[in-house]
Amino acid sequence: AQAIWARDAFFNVSICVMTKDGVKCLPLLKFLDGDETRPHLDPDGLRALRALRGTVCVASIVGDGRCGKSTLASEVVAPSDSCPVTVFPVGETGDPVTKGIDMCIVGAGQGTLVVLDCEGGNNPAGAIRSTVDVVAMLVSTLIVQVVWGQTSEAQLTELGRTLALRSRVVQDEASQLPKQQLALVVNGCHLKYSSDHLRNIFSEYHDGVESQRNEVRASIKKAYEEIHFVTVPHSLAPAYSKGISVLRTSIVDNCGVVALGGHALSGADICEMLTAGVTELQRSGLVPVPSIIRHVFFYHFLMPLVARLDEGYRSSLPRVEDMFTLDFSDTREMTLAQFDTEASRINHRELVGEAREDLQRRVDQAWKHFNELNTAIGEQELDVKREEEKRFSHSVNKVVAFKRSCVVMGKKQPVTETVNVFTEWHRTMTLRRNGTVHYSEWTSAEESSDFDGADRVVSEGEFIKIPEPTDVVDTNVLDVPKSL
């Protein structure tokens, strides 16, 4: 039965797979059957890397095939010297065992140490794939170069060949790979080296036809920030455990945090970096570091940050489907300030600026949409009332009675009186959801006067019936019936 022994760096235990045949690491980089030139990243390895939190340190163990790299890698990641575990597959024949890159994840202090066991080179019985070295170079902060028995000029030549592969990694001043250190390890060492042996082998004192050896040494010293030297005796030697302990300490102490542009990468960031790098290798055979940096920082960090802040800003806006929001503050600047804070650790400011512009556009669009919708709802009518009033229009002379000049025989003469004429005016008052009141224009209606048609005394002792208001006419056009 297959059991999973998987605990992350918080518990300080390896992530690996235990089967009935022993403990095996997780695959990371493999090659398709029938096409040994096309690398692909294994989903299991990527899944384990992506789950890592906190800082990540990556050490790549490289060197000639069949020199004991996988054995040393297993010793390094073993829980203790008293509990050895064969994590990485090993063999006793001349045929290569490791194909591509296998990995194991162990805790290291507050972070995580990822050990990559890389396919060996210089093996006449196996393939020599430079892609392995390029991929390991992309994410490693410590290169552990292993040889068997003793140091040699061939070891330095192999290092020079590996450095030449960096030409496939296109860099510029603003886009550099993580800083790396180098550990030269002699496995199964049968010699006693002096304390200044490392300085001696990198001395540039060769001249004449051997001057090229100086160039190799100079390129190695320039490529790595620091170079360390560790010897491990044969596994049957009494000092073997001590040598393994020294090697393990050297790797843990000198393997730095994987970072790009001053920004420490998480396990997920490293996955994105590997994915972009392998994709570019498959496409063109080159690894443009600026493209990888854009992939890791812009598409994997900055754009998800923009999407998260944009979603948070939109969710903070009031819902205005059917309710007007009278007073709401504009928080766009607060959202942009939060972006500036979270993106401040990214040194590639041109990428940060591009992402910030996109966030600015998004929140501006959201604010505009909110305002337009809120304004439209605010203009909806909440209540409508009609206002009316009378206004003085003019005065006219109205016939209010008739009077005889003689009580018995006198002709009736009209009696006039000045009457005020009023006009009825009205308008509509509309209360809208936004609290504003809008009035329509005043509109005039019919006219009326203050004449009420009551009986009036027109002469002493005599009452004359006042005509109804409909019969009252303006004296200016008065046509008195002759019968009167």
Phi, psi (degrees; rounded to nearest 5) at 61: -100, 115
pLDDT at residue 127, rounded to an integer: 57
399, 478 contact by CB (below 8 A): yes
- Helix pair 332-342, 349-378: axis angle to 10 deg: 160
CA 270/CA 283 separation, integer angstroms: 20
**Pairing between strand 462-464 and 263-264?**
unpaired
pLDDT at residue number 34: 56
Amino acid letter, 348: H
Residue 216 near residue 163, CB atoms below 8 Å: no
Backbone angles phi, psi at 258, to 5 degrees: -70, 125
- Record the tokens describing residue 477, joined without a space: 């056009």
* Residue in this structure with the two tokens 């493209």, named with its chain if needed: 291
Query: Model-level pTM?
Result: 0.66
Q: Which residue has the tokens 């209606």?
A: 445
pLDDT (tens place) for every residue of the chain, 484 residues total: 222 333 333 233 334 444 434 345 889 988 876 566 678 899 999 999 998 888 899 999 998 877 888 889 888 887 655 555 678 877 776 666 778 899 988 875 567 899 999 887 765 555 556 778 888 888 899 999 999 999 988 888 888 888 877 666 656 665 677 889 999 999 999 999 998 999 988 888 777 767 788 888 888 998 899 999 999 999 899 999 999 999 999 999 999 999 887 788 889 989 988 988 888 877 777 777 777 788 888 888 899 999 999 999 998 888 766 667 766 788 899 999 999 999 987 878 889 999 999 999 999 999 998 888 877 877 777 788 888 888 888 888 888 787 777 766 667 778 888 888 888 888 888 887 777 788 888 888 766 666 554 444 344 334 334 444 444 444 444 443 443 3
pLDDT at 326: 67
| Residue 133, Ramachandran bin (φ over 0: left; ψ between -120 and 50: alpha; else beta) | alpha
Give the domain ranges of the chain: 3-285, 296-378, 381-477
What does the pLDDT read at residue 273? 87
* 3-class DSSP assignment, residue 65: coil
The whole-number pLDDT of residue 471 equals 42
Fold designation for 3-285? Rossmann fold (3.40.50)
> In this predicted structure, what is the pLDDT of residue 234?
92
pLDDT of 56:
93
